[in-house]
Structure 1
Amino acid sequence: MSYDKSVGISSGQADGVGSVALMTSPGSPGVCFMHSNRWLKPGLMSLAGVAAILCLPGCPPRGVTPANDNEGGTGRPIPIRLAVAAETFTLTEPGQAVQLTVESVSSDGSRNDVTDAASGTTYHTTSEGVVTVSDDGLVTAAGEGQTTVLVVNAGLSARRRVTVDFADDAVVRLEVAPATVTFTDPDDTVQLAVTGVRNDGGSENLTSAAAGTTYQSSSTSVVTVSNGGLLRPVADGVAEVVVRNANLAFTVDVTVRFGDAPPPGSRLIALSVTPAQFTFTATGQTQQLEVLGTFEFEDAGGQTQRVTVDVTSPADGTTYRSSAPGVATVDVRGLVAVALTTGAGSAVITVENDGVQATARVTVSIPPNNGGGGGGGGGGGGGGGEDILLGWSLRPLPDPRNSHAMAYDAARRQTVLFGGYGTRILGGTWTWDGSGDWRLAQDEGRLDAPSPRYSHAMAYDSVREVVVLFGGTNGTTRNGETWEWNGAAWIQRIVDSPGEVSSHAMAYDAGRGVTVLFGGSDSDNNLRGQTWEWDGASWSRRDDKGEGPAPRIQSAMTYDAAAGMVILFGGDTETEFAQGEGGGDEGVLNDTWGWDGQTWTLLDDGQSKDAPSPRKGHSLCYDAELERVILHGGGNGESDTRTWQWDGTSWQPLIGPTPGARTSTAMVYDASRRTAVLFGGFDGDDDGEVWELASGRWSLRTDSIRPTPRHLHAMTFDAVRGRTVLFGGSDGEPDGETWEYDGRLWALRSVGGPSPRVSSAMTFDTSRQACVLVGGQNNILEGDAWTWNGARWTQLPAAGPSGRHGHALAYDAARDEIVLFGGYDGQYDGETWVLRGDQWTLVSTTGPVPRIKHAMVYDAERARVVLYGGFNGRDLGDTWIWDGQSWTEVAVAGPPVRSGHSLVYDSVRRVSLAFGGRTLGVPSNQTWMWNGQAWTAFSFTGPSGRYDHGFAYDVFRATGVLFGGFNGPVLDDTWEVTGPR
């Protein structure tokens, strides 16, 4: 085996890295790149240009004889990074696409194209509403905004920033009419009309081929289409006609049915559904409905005749909807499926065709599993008279952060998180049990808990069943406190300590029952190389011989149970780092040490060819199942994307996708689930992701992304796609974002569509299978109406109510119409409007007095719209019912007067739930229930008092979802209310 003593690489060869030197020598451990870089440590370091050395393993593992090339080369190269073209780019047209090209760059400078999915490369985008990315890296513009595309291959990753910005006169979508076509006569034809909608809201006719529009039938044996968009039926069947113009496309669904169809000129007079009643008694059950239509027509002799035809198919124009999707769902084909997992309920399935309706009733009765569970409190009778048990739970997420600390609490089977640095210095105690939800165990700001801090350390003492926390800094002063967490509270241990220290490492030695602390930076900004141990009563210094690892900061330690010693890896020996000057990277280490309670032993000096590169800010944990020490993250000017494992004698990289590069992260091993848990870190931005490593594979569990604090936003639940949808609101300025929540994560879906606004109203229209948003206010009162189908916003063309804000909407499923009441359009309004299809109608009726900030919801059990409360110069407390024709006031005792509250319908418990609002100027935290006859207050605690929040009912999970609001500050918390099904 021979090596070149030195090899020069130009900046061009190094893909623009800068001044690069590649240095090897006989027996060298690998390849070192030196280049200019910048490092940021929030709160402790400033931005500064520093030299960075990245040591990269370039040789085969120990004990493997490398294959020499014919020229006596330097050995087998390994991939060290990904080079992605294009760089940061902007797309200016809808559907415009850019093909990414990805190369894996090896330690010898060679490149290998790994663009396609077959090479193991995967592509991810943070917002599919802005761009989509194919399996092979084709990035396509979907909507205006900015997003990041993440490219991953063999543990290496790269990011590209994409901006989508359409010109005002750009055609951003196609609208084709009709969008669905059914042929029953072989002689019929249908002309398609194609409209291009521009970014400025204007439109243009694009029907002709001269406008660049093309048409293609998926099956010419079913339907043909001319160059000008004329459809002609051929034979029975289903086909799609794809309409394209430039990069845009629209699909028209075509059904041809010449067979069993009603005679021409016939009129549907009745529908019948089979079965008309049925019961589900177990999860997973389904029932296919059969629908017959009776048609009336005149024969050739002028006599009235009737014929019965099967109209079950949606191609016959038949639609289906469930009054309680949380109990039972129905798809477009008429297949009914049970939705409950336990409990009882009922739903009415409404079948409609050409204005004629029929119904089937489904009853669900599923025995409880293990008795079910419940939230605290209760009260009142439900739709069937049973007790209603409900409880609120906060769906919190820790802020994105770095330089925090975590420990796994084996007694309580949960990971404990404290502190860190994000947009501010953080406190607060969080727990993670792997279920998918963080729990805020203790809020920050308490006098009986550690103060907000970062660069501290934590370890779990399994003998005394407490988490030990020591040291840290608030950016100004370092700390020498010792705290212990017992699962319920922090207790400060008033003892002599190792001094005021930050950026140290700590691990619990389970073999000897002590917590071991090493290194750090003291109050005089001196690096320390001391070893201390905590036995639960006192700290003792254990390194009087002065032998062991060099003084350092930002190293990491864990206990290796197989070896019976504490393992330490890496860190930084640069004192400038501790002084807040950004640090140099010449002192960054990659040595591996072991502590057996008596002496430190150098296990790997970092010169071996299979050692991870020098780094600081990494994390370690011990995987008891694999009997390996796991290392991830950290950096040396550049962060390593790979995950490494130590088997007691050598390091090896873990093969496969990883959480990517990050520094100042934290990682622990959850022994009950045999899973490593990694949270947070810094990758150019503070991170809030939870990643878990099990059986050698990483998976993303949660992200900390959520809407910014806001109030006066609109929320509803999309019962087709199973998402809570949020639009608009304000935290000082009106917002135009669209967010969706799937019960676990929030995702920003769109920044286009309706203009930024507050106090709009939104509901889900089952017939349209889309959310409908109406009105609101920015600088002007808006009177427009929009639909959201999960991919894009579309403005409805029909004129309707005057511009207004503070109104309320509800979708009346029994009458297939949207009901709007009230609002402010220059004065308090008392109008009732209904939207049927695209036609608004002002209903002439007496009803509630004019008002704003009231709440409305559709009660599916009683087929009525319920209105409660509001404001018209004073807070109101009246209850009204809308039956499709008129309003009726219900004279019952109810909640105190209020405005800015919210109302949802719980389809499982068949009651309406009201929360919050402002009563005589005071934010309310009360939850009330309306069962169609009376109001009942719940006694359990929940969200803090607030008003102008958003509230929607997730029928898929039988859970109410609340976000944000105002009670002095503007809020950004997510709460859920649910109970046994």
Structure 2
Amino acid sequence: PPHDRFGHTAVYNRASNRMIVFGGGTGFPGPCVNELWTLTNPNSVGGTATWSLLTPAGTLPPVREGHTAVYDSSTNTMVIFGGTDCTGNYYNDLWILSNADGSTRTPTWNQAQPLGTPPSARSQSAAIYDSVDHVMTIFGGGGTSKTNDVWTLSNATGTTGTPTWTQQFPSGTAPAARSGHVAFYDAANNQMVIHGGMGGSSRNDTWILSDANGIGGNPAWTQLVSTDPGPYRASHAAIYDPVSKKAVIFGGTSQLPVTYTDDHVFALTNANGLGSGSTWSQYGPAPRSHPSAGYDAVSDQMIVFGGQPAGAGLSPLNDVWAEVGVVASGQASLVGMNWVQVFPSGTPPAPRFGQSGLYDSNSDRMIIFGGGTSTTSCLNDLWLLDDANSANGAPAWLSITASGKIPPARMDHAAAYDPLRNVLIVFGGTNCSSGYFQDVWVLTNANGEGGTPTWTKLNPANTPPAARENASVIYDSVNNVLLLYAGDAGGAGFSDLWALSNANGQAGTPRWRQFAPTGTPPNGRTGQSTVYDAANNRMIMYGGINAINGTRFLWDSWILTNANSLGGTPAWSSEKATGTAPERYFHSAFYSVSKNDLVVFGGDSQIGQYPADDHIFILSTANGLK
């Protein structure tokens, strides 16, 4: 295959099912290349996708990246313009590649000598192509400075006459000068649509140029106002479907730090601006914090419910998503994203965040309790997601009316599930009125099978932990021990560690005991996650933040050996993980016993503008044992 690269171009010939890739930079700040590659069967239809390095005839264009390319499918011709040589020099030359995909004859390069004054030398401009009138239209780009000019090249492929440059002077307010934007062509309406780009910082605006080919009328700019803000992107990629009038963009840099180059896919409906309600949406689950996530080891599937989306003024969620093959995918260098949105039957729970959601693999049910519809409105309702992994039937929501005294409404509580005895254990949380709990409740018959779910408040012996929210717990089901770690009461994060024996209330009086582990302990925190390696009696702790409104985002991971204290004194040790750890708090996490992986989803992060993150990260060899 080609070497890793950026700033290259790719065009597609549907007739031969070949993608044609040219040039690009293979390092930063260089070098650039002028290789020509084809990928046969890129859609895997008709055969295996196969890379081939072509050897074209003619004089090759100089090495470059950041150039534009358009493709004429009727003549199998690719036209490239401009770019940079990776050493600070910019081009405004024009090259034509005939027999571009190499499917029938040898591709051949020719440098065109267009008539007219050419655009200034530049890179990262955007180009569209009118295949009927053989006109290429170019907007913007950057060389010694960024531009917002519009140029057309008639007879662009050279097959209908001599290519000729003409500068266009569109009416209307022009977009700001930029580079690294994308453009696509609505051929039916002769419109060029541009999005994003870099002009001092990345941009999220979308603009439409009517009469884009300069034929039949003077081009005119109008800004497309979508129903919600577009994503900030530069140096991204875009495609347009003329049937659905939907544009799809992928990747690029954003308004976030450069290290957070974006890998999301966004779609814009009514992208040509001629319909009503042009709307941006993100493929996959929306970024969120305070979600609940369960893991079904049999189907290797993570099931996510609800949470608080990123962005000011956005309402909580009650959607359900499944990431299939999550742990298996993570055995490669990157987790394969296989998100599928699930639409359970039945009336769903109200949108919420900060709820508990525990998965019972025996019944294939996810148990949802509490949460908040806002920071001032808590819930104490109980729900089951039946057939949660979709393997035994369509998932369905079941609203459950439990017997017994119901716990006060709460969110950001800690919860664990005892699969051996079908008991849900709940500790603490907040009442959404600046109050915090330190109580313990158990729900018997929690999965709704074997009897009516019943709430009971436990009255453990000994001094309990301080009231708190955002604590994390693990549960040793063999020894019936619940371990509680950290959290907050509206301020700085705690660092204490507690054990509750007889935690499910069915084998004697529950008793609190504060542990004093040996070793240097982690810093105080809240919003962290903890998981349990039962085979080795180890608790794995990751992430968090130093205070509920803190600024110290944590990405460290720690091991607590002898976690239940039954085999010796618990001891803290810091993990020395390789790779770049994400900074996350208020995320979800689970532990894969078979792969010894800690899997983390969502949560808030150190990123400022859009803090909630929807990525999946895996910490391999999570228990620290080879």
Query: TM-score normalised to the size of structure 2?
Result: 0.53
Equivalent pairs counted in the alignment come to 404
The residue aligned with 2:73 is none
Q: Against the structure 1 CA distance between its residues 788 and 634, is the aligned structure 2 distance closer, same or farther, given a 3 Å change threshold?
A: closer
| Mapped pair 1:874 → 2:492 | yes
The residue aligned with 2:469 is 852
Q: After TM superposition, list the pairs within 5 Å mapping 1:188-203 onto structure 2.
A: none
The residue aligned with 2:203 is none
The residue aligned with 2:546 is 919
Q: Answer with 1 or 2: which has the greater Rg.
A: 1
What CA deviation, in whole Å up to 9, does each residue of 1:449-485 have, x standing for no partner? 99xxxxxx99547789998541389xxxxx965257x
Distance 1:970 1:665 in 2: 21
The answer on whether the counterparts of 2:265 and 2:282 sit within 8 Å (CA) in structure 1 is no
Q: After TM superposition, list the pairs within 5 Å mapping 1:442-841 onto structure 2.
A: 460=37, 468-471=65-68, 481-483=82-84, 491=86, 494-498=89-93, 520-522=136-138, 523-530=149-156, 577=191, 580-581=209-210, 638=243, 705-719=283-297, 721-731=299-309, 732-742=314-324, 743=326, 744-750=337-343, 752-779=347-374, 780-789=377-386, 790=388, 791-798=395-402, 799-825=405-431, 826=433, 827-837=435-445, 838-841=453-456
Distance 1:857 1:975 in 2: 21
Equivalent residue in structure 2 for 1:928, among 558, 568, 573: 558
Shift of 1:960: 3.0
Q: Against the structure 1 CA distance between its residues 706 and 415, is the aligned structure 2 distance closer, same or farther, given a 3 Å change threshold?
A: farther
Distance 1:528 1:682 in 2: 31
Q: After TM superposition, list the pairs within 5 Å mapping 1:958-973 onto structure 2.
A: 958-967=596-605, 968=608, 969-973=610-614
Q: After TM superposition, list the pairs within 5 Å mapping 1:864-903 onto structure 2.
A: 864-872=481-489, 873-884=491-502, 885-892=510-517, 893-903=520-530
Distance 1:458 1:682 in 2: 31
Distance 1:792 1:749 in 2: 10
The answer on whether the counterparts of 2:99 and 2:108 sit within 8 Å (CA) in structure 1 is no
The answer on whether the counterparts of 2:493 and 2:546 sit within 8 Å (CA) in structure 1 is yes
Q: Against the structure 1 CA distance between its residues 528 and 886, is the aligned structure 2 distance closer, same or farther, given a 3 Å change threshold?
A: farther
Shift of 1:830: 0.7
Distance 2:454 2:421 in 1: 14
Distance 2:523 2:400 in 1: 38
Equivalent residue in structure 2 for 1:843, among 458, 463, 471: 458
Distance 1:458 1:726 in 2: 44
Q: Against the structure 1 CA distance between its residues 883 and 754, is the aligned structure 2 distance closer, same or farther, given a 3 Å change threshold?
A: same
Unaligned runs of 5+ in 1: 1-409, 421-440, 451-456, 474-478, 485-490, 532-542, 553-570, 588-632, 640-660, 667-678, 687-702
Distance 1:907 1:839 in 2: 28
The answer on whether the counterparts of 2:82 and 2:91 sit within 8 Å (CA) in structure 1 is no
| Mapped pair 1:977 → 2:618 | yes
What CA deviation, in whole Å up to 9, does each residue of 1:473-521 have, x standing for no partner? 9xxxxx965257xxxxxx456244327x9x9999587967969899732
Shift of 1:955: 5.2
The residue aligned with 1:947 is 585
Q: Against the structure 1 CA distance between its residues 874 and 466, is the aligned structure 2 distance closer, same or farther, given a 3 Å change threshold?
A: same
SS in structure 2 of the partner of residue 848 of structure 1: coil
The answer on whether the counterparts of 1:665 and 1:681 sit within 8 Å (CA) in structure 2 is yes
SS in structure 1 of the partner of residue 436 of structure 2: coil
Of Structure 1 and Structure 2, the greater strand share is in 1
Which structure is richer in relative contact order (CA contacts within 8 A, separation 6 or more)?
1
Unaligned runs of 5+ in 2: 11-24, 38-52, 71-79, 113-128, 130-134, 139-148, 167-184, 193-207, 217-238, 251-263, 272-280, 327-336, 389-394, 446-452, 503-509, 564-569
The answer on whether the counterparts of 1:709 and 1:971 sit within 8 Å (CA) in structure 2 is yes
Shift of 1:897: 0.4
> What is the identity, as a one-letter code, of the residue corresponding to 1:973?
D
SS in structure 1 of the partner of residue 487 of structure 2: strand
Q: After TM superposition, list the pairs within 5 Å mapping 1:358-369 onto structure 2.
A: none
Shift of 1:899: 0.5
The residue aligned with 2:117 is none
The residue aligned with 1:610 is none
The answer on whether the counterparts of 1:739 and 1:746 sit within 8 Å (CA) in structure 2 is yes
Q: Against the structure 1 CA distance between its residues 496 and 784, is the aligned structure 2 distance closer, same or farther, given a 3 Å change threshold?
A: closer
The answer on whether the counterparts of 2:266 and 2:283 sit within 8 Å (CA) in structure 1 is no
Q: Against the structure 1 CA distance between its residues 663 and 550, is the aligned structure 2 distance closer, same or farther, given a 3 Å change threshold?
A: farther
Shift of 1:802: 0.9
Distance 2:484 2:476 in 1: 10
Q: Which moved more, 1:752-761 or 1:505-514?
A: 505-514
What CA deviation, in whole Å up to 9, does each residue of 1:789-808 have, x standing for no partner? 22022122114211011111
> What is the identity, as a one-letter code, of the residue corresponding to 1:735?
L
Identity between Structure 1 and Structure 2 (%): 21
The answer on whether the counterparts of 2:6 and 2:65 sit within 8 Å (CA) in structure 1 is no
Q: Against the structure 1 CA distance between its residues 938 and 472, is the aligned structure 2 distance closer, same or farther, given a 3 Å change threshold?
A: farther
SS in structure 1 of the partner of residue 599 of structure 2: strand
> What is the identity, as a one-letter code, of the residue corresponding to 2:585?
Y
The answer on whether the counterparts of 1:458 and 1:507 sit within 8 Å (CA) in structure 2 is no
RMSD: 5.0
Query: TM-score normalised to the size of structure 1?
Result: 0.35
> What is the identity, as a one-letter code, of the residue corresponding to 2:316?
P
Distance 2:354 2:423 in 1: 21
The residue aligned with 1:937 is 574
Distance 1:481 1:714 in 2: 49
Shift of 1:975: 2.4
The residue aligned with 1:8 is none
